[in-house]
Amino acid sequence: MEGKNQKAIRKKNRNSFFLILAFSFNIFSLNSSFAQSNIPVGSWRIHTSYLGEGVLSGSENSVFSLGSHSLFYLNINTNKVNTLTVLDGLYDQNFSAGAFDPISKKFIIAFPDGTIQLVGEREIQTVNSLRENPQVTQKSINRVRIKGGFVLLAGDFGVLRINPVETSISASFTNLGRDGGLLAINDIAEDDKFLYLASKAGLLLGDKNSNLNDFRNWRRIGESIGEFINIALVAGKIIAIHRNGNLYFLENDKNQPEQIIGIQEAKNLHFYGERLFFQMGNGIYAIDENASWNLEFDTEIQSFSDFFINTSGIYYQVQGKGIVSQNGDIFAPPGPRSQVRQLLPTSEGLLGIPFSKNILGETTVSSTQESSRLFEGRWEALESPDEIVSVAQMGNDLFLGTFSNGLWKKNSSGLQQIQIGSSGHEVSISAIHTDAFGHLWVGIADDKPRLLKINSTGNINSVAVEGLSFPYKIISDRTGNLWILNAPLNGNSFIQVFHEQSNLNRILGSASNNGSLPPGNVMDIAIDANQQLWISTGNGVLYVPNASDISDNNNLNALTPIFQGRPLFSGVNVRQILVAPDQSKWFGTVRDGIWRFSEFGNELLEHFNQANSPLISNNISNLNLDPVSGELLIVQEHAAFSYRGSSIKSAPGLESLKIFPNPVRPDFNGVLSIEGLIDFAKIKITSSAGRVVFSSQVQGGKVIWNLRELQGGRVKPGVYLVFVTDKEGIERVSGKFVVL
């Protein structure tokens, strides 16, 4: 966990955009905008859904919503919402429990590995004691309760008490099982004399005057009833919710809790003042020390995962909406509709897909299945089929291949499902690709040796491809050869190259002059502008030079890039390869983060991991690249990010320049980006007096500049002129910017 520790320390000290909390009097100074353009080169953003189930807590001035992978809060005074993410210093984007402490004005967050963070008014404090304790094997925290100025944590290990002011553990009680073994604690309550625990094995009562580190000093009640998930005290009487939703009542001197008749599927015990409330159906009920209960609030909301009460009224956490107030107002930050498993750049905008399938056949599905798109700076619902695995553009039509719902076409006329032969609509599409000649090639997830070809008029033909088996990815080179990555259910993946007109059909392997590929799984393939076929494997990367010149019988041998005298990524499982418009290569790995290398793989340009970036781990689940915006699109198990790189797609012509930022302010420490360029253009930046301060040849559609003169010093304030010439040396476009 060294990387995580380093990241927590680094982010804690990153005051330039550190949050400032004032929960009862102000707000986090965060910008929750998700604008798609005008973000600086080298900047990160996160794409989080805030519409799932969650738990609520807060004060008279704020309401916090904590989901499995999201955290935001509502400022009641301004009706504005703000987000908290790893970009702001959080340890991870995977939460197990949390609650707000109105006294210390800190939000306490627990993470599955036992890390605890206290998010305060001016800093985030991290408690690592539980996570780093080798004697505690089960570290997950199930509930955070605030009582008497202390934070009480109930977890799989037992109980912790934290002093939020001193950020220290003041007491711990572990191994509370009847035989001194582990016993998971789901909830905790206390009064002056006792601790009360809801556990996997009934209720536990502990006298504070006894040694509660000794499991034999805990009184056990209702073991035969089973697991309790919530517990609270009303005038010294115990109210507890069973795992099955039944509500129980217990007087302290009794040995068996009594079920309260008429209550089913109860959940969420919450206090407002001295009164205790619980949720049943779409109603909120009050219950007193005599186990008398009555309906206090009824709502038309049919389903909500939690509620919170203060003097402003009742707030509900509603899946698909966020926080909903008593009068029906809805509050949620912008974001995708569901947790993102793929980020796909398309003509429809950036698609956030809640489904993915990798080359090993493993599928990942979000708890809700609503696809979204980021279009003109805002996330919105996308009309689309479920389980999208691949997309391709053909003319004005966007084609969507799905895991179990066939092939779809989306355009200005709407969404239409494509009938594929006698297979009907439920066929599993594994890959789709548009070649340079305007044909859409469709791979179906089976072992039948054929591809489907769809032309611009919509005609569908079945094309025999001997040896094809479960095509996972299809790409093409400039001569129209299809390079197919097959992923059969039994056996290793393999590369096949096919051309319909020339009858080329060749399967690459380990033999000399027929690929010279190493044994094991091929993970991904990509072709660059030099017609080099790049191959990632479970043990490094290779490339095939002049791949477009392949024939049925020419010699073809993959080469290994050399970096610092060693084979590039030797021993590293490289999951994906992307080719940037400037021909640099992005590599996403299983355990080593993200790497960007130069065109031939011999120079390291960038490397991101959990220690030096917002990434929550070094495991990259899915990687894509938006060539228009230059953003690298990253999906991990519990979070999705984009990082704006320095390379974008070349413009069709030199017509206008986009210079960002403009003006350049004194506190700006990033790079200036100039977009709207074409390949092989030359750019020159001069002062207003005509002195050249920067020049470069363009590869791709963008150039970046560190604002330093040729001699190395930062440029002085003033007006600077930009001149761009085409490859013939003719000036085509110009611009200017101001350095303040």
pTM over 0.75? The answer is yes
- Is CATH 3.40.220.10 what the domain over 658-739 is classified as, yes or no? no
Which pLDDT score, from 0 to 100, does residue 653 have? Answer: 66
Q: For residue 405, what are the CA distances in angstroms to 42, 118, 350, 427, 486?
A: 38, 45, 22, 6, 21
Where is pLDDT greater, at 647 or 104?
Answer: 104
Q: Which residue has the tokens 């490289």?
A: 574
Residue 612, token pair as written in the block? 């030096």
What are residue 204's DSSP bridge partners? 197, 220
Helices (H), 105-173: 129-132
pLDDT single digits (tens) 526-546: 999 899 999 999 999 999 999
Instruction: Give the neighbor-by-neighbor strand order of the sheet with 218-221.
Output: 185-190, 194-199, 202-207, 218-221
Task: Determine the Cα–Cα distance for residues 277 and 259; give it in Å rounded to an integer.
Answer: 17
User: Under the phi-then-psi rule, with left for phi > 0, alpha for psi from -120 to 50, and beta for the rest, what region is 268?
Assistant: left
Q: Do 152 and 142 contact (CB within 8 A), yes or no?
A: no
> So what CATH class is 338-507?
mainly beta
Neighbours of 363 (CB within 10 A): 13
- How long is the chain? 740
Which pLDDT score, from 0 to 100, does residue 650 have? Answer: 62
pLDDT single digits (tens) 79-119: 999 999 999 999 999 999 999 999 999 999 999 999 999 99
456 pLDDT higher than 60: yes
Name residue 686's amino acid: T
- Cα–chain center distance at 615: 9
252 pLDDT higher than 90: no
Q: Do 338-507 and 658-739 have matching folds?
A: no
Neighbours of 511 (CB within 10 A): 10
Q: What share of the chain is helix, strand, coil (3-state, %, to 5)?
A: 5, 45, 50
Q: pLDDT band for position 441 (50/70/90)?
A: very high
To which CATH superfamily is domain 509-649 assigned?
YVTN repeat-like/Quinoprotein amine dehydrogenase (2.130.10.10)
Task: Determine the Cα–Cα distance for residues 132 and 124; give it in Å rounded to an integer.
Answer: 19
H/E element holding 7? helix 2-12
Task: Determine the Cα–Cα distance for residues 303 and 318; give it in Å rounded to an integer.
Answer: 7
Domain boundaries, the chain: 338-507, 509-649, 658-739
Any idea what the Cα angle at residue 699 is, between residues 694 and 704, rounded to 5°? 40
Can you tell me whether residue 630 is helix, strand or coil?
coil
Where is pLDDT greater, at 725 or 356?
Answer: 356
What are residue 56's DSSP bridge partners? 65
Which pLDDT score, from 0 to 100, does residue 734 have? Answer: 80
Which pLDDT score, from 0 to 100, does residue 502 have? Answer: 93
Pairing of strands 585-589, 566-567: unpaired
Q: pLDDT band for position 30 (50/70/90)?
A: very low
5 pLDDT higher than 60: no
Residue 363, token pair as written in the block? 């599928």
Q: What is the DSSP string of 198-233?
A: EETTEEEEEETTS-TTSGGGEEEE-TTT--EEEEEE
